[in-house]
Chain A
Amino acid sequence: MTSAVPTPLALIAELTHRCPLHCVYCSNPLEMAQRADELSTETWTRVFREAAAAGVLQADFTGGEPLARSDTVDLVRVARAAGLYVNLITSGLPLDEARLDELVQAGIDHIQLSFQGATEESANEFSGTKSHAQKLRVLDWLKRRRVAVTLNFVIHRGNIHQLAEMLALAESSCAGRIEFANVQYYGWAFSNRENLLPTREQLDRSVEFMKHAQERLRGRMQVEYVVPDYYAKYPKACMGGWGQKMILITPNGDVLPCHAARIIPGMQFENVKSGSIRDIWENSEAFRKFRGTEWMPELCKSCDRRERDFGGCRCQAFLLTGDAAATDPVCSLAPQRSIVDAVVAAANDAAEKPLVKPNWLYRPNPA
């Protein structure tokens, strides 16, 4: 293990928690930032410069819906001027052709357009709003502009049977990449977990489908498939490892190692208003807490995979075991794997019962 602090590579900029969608698996925290607390254009400008100076290469604009702010085009321009590669992760809802042109002119490098399903009816159900038709319009506008496009389909029990239709939609578009990512269980998704976790049979079939799709489309379109952690043998290196590659900044300027870190009790986060990005990254207690391998339980510390998956996800460990420093229980070697097995077993049992319409907990729009 190296004691030197690694260089941060990507800045995840949660520009706002406001969003026209109400997705039942939103990765935002249950307590969202209010509009009045959002950082100003000037502060974000300083943050992008400081991040680039600290070594960051890329800014991912996300939210909420990053286009819910009125200054998103300006933020693209200043992030580009700071030397960053700018990636916009959007629902496509607050967008028309004129604003898309402004984004392209401001230097947007890459747009990730999210989809909640392959059909109008299911997509609208999971996003809690009429959104699908607008996304199809955005796809059409993107065809006529020079910008890289990735389609992000969020997969779960309720739409995993639509993969073929989703793939057909992607193939008819100008996207160079398509990501099918199963929901992971934090935030709103944790609250709705029993209605979202696919069955083993669904998952096996989807993996098989994706393998064929990847082979068929090789060289034409990059297809990524992310399975739910709960079905994995080993945990993922969450965020590429805590404090290893990524910095997340919340709408009000708190600097976090990941989307969900706020749920871990006792964590204190610095704010961009009180310190530089480099100093917070290198020295703040929050980033040092689970960086590297020192904090690990013996099982992880002595494991060959310790610098591949960094013990998995701290937030998932806390949510499932109550201890943020435990081995991520999705790991097949974890002493508390039985917790995950029980959840998976319940999801597979429930699949055999007659279907009732889920009682979704929809994510609200913050004030």
Chain B
Amino acid sequence: MTPELSSRPRMAVGCRLNEKKQPSRVLHMPEKALRVSGPSLEIIERCDGRRTVQEIISELQKLYSKAEPQKVAADILEYLARLHAQRALDFIGGETDRSANAK
């Protein structure tokens, strides 16, 4: 699936980044953990349930201003879809909103 630009991604229940003070950054999920750095980390840090997908794309296009903007957008959409498939992300306000058991 392709994330909708107006939806707001956030970490799924049981998934979170470890804290900044730790030597390497890790995305915790139930029963596994992924080491994240660079653009992946920049994306995940912005999946806070407030920013829309479009806003995340715009911020990263500024951050990586030397990269082709279309390529940045495509990479972000692909990465968000991958995290969603791994059940690490929910999209609030999108059709795939799975946040039923959340407060």
Contacts and interface: CB of A to CB of B under 8 A. Distances in A.
A52 B101 CA distance: 30
B28 A58 contact: yes
A146 interface: yes
Most chain B CB neighbours (cut-off 10 Å) among A87, A110, A144, A150:
A110
A57 B87 contact: no
Which bucket holds chain A's interface residue count? 20 to 34
A109 B14 contact: yes
Interface in A107-121: 109-110
Interface string A210-249: 0000000001001000000000000000000000000000
Given A58-B33, A219-B85, A222-B87, A83 B14 contact: no
A176 B13 contact: yes
Given A57-B18, A57-B26, A222-B87, 5 more contacts: A9-B33, A109-B28, A110-B30, A146-B101, A219-B85
A109 B16 contact: yes
B22 A83 contact: yes
Nearest to B98: A220
Interface in B20-69: 21-22, 26, 28, 30-31, 33
A222 B21 CA distance: 32
29 contacts: A57-B18, A57-B26, A58-B33, A83-B21, A85-B16, A85-B18, A85-B28, A109-B16, A109-B28, A109-B30, A110-B14, A110-B30, A144-B103, A145-B103, A146-B101, A146-B103, A147-B13, A147-B14, A148-B12, A148-B13, A148-B30, A149-B14, A174-B101, A176-B12, A176-B13, A176-B30, A176-B87, A219-B85, A222-B87
A308 interface: no
B27 to A, nearest CB: 10
A288 interface: no
B35 to A, nearest CB: 10
Interface of B: 12-16, 18-19, 21-22, 26, 28, 30-31, 33, 85, 87, 100-103
Contacts of B31: 110, 150, 177
A99 interface: no
B19 A83 contact: yes
Interface in A40-87: 52, 57-58, 83, 85, 87
A146 B102 contact: yes
A148 B14 contact: yes
B25 to A, nearest CB: 11
A177 B31 CA distance: 10
Contacts of B101: 143-144, 146, 174
B101 to A, nearest CB: 4
Most chain A CB neighbours (cut-off 10 Å) among B19, B22, B30:
B30
Given A58-B33, A146-B102, A150-B30, A176 B14 contact: yes
Contacts of A219: 85
Interface string A164-187: 000000000010110000000000
A223 to B, nearest CB: 13
Most chain B CB neighbours (cut-off 10 Å) among A58, A143, A150:
A58
A143 B13 CA distance: 12
A9 B101 CA distance: 29
Most chain A CB neighbours (cut-off 10 Å) among B16, B101, B102:
B101
Nearest to A104: B103
A144 B102 CA distance: 7
Nearest to B1: A219
Contacts of A146: 13, 101-103
B70 to A, nearest CB: 28
B21 to A, nearest CB: 7
Nearest to B100: A174
A110 B33 CA distance: 13
A109 B28 CA distance: 9
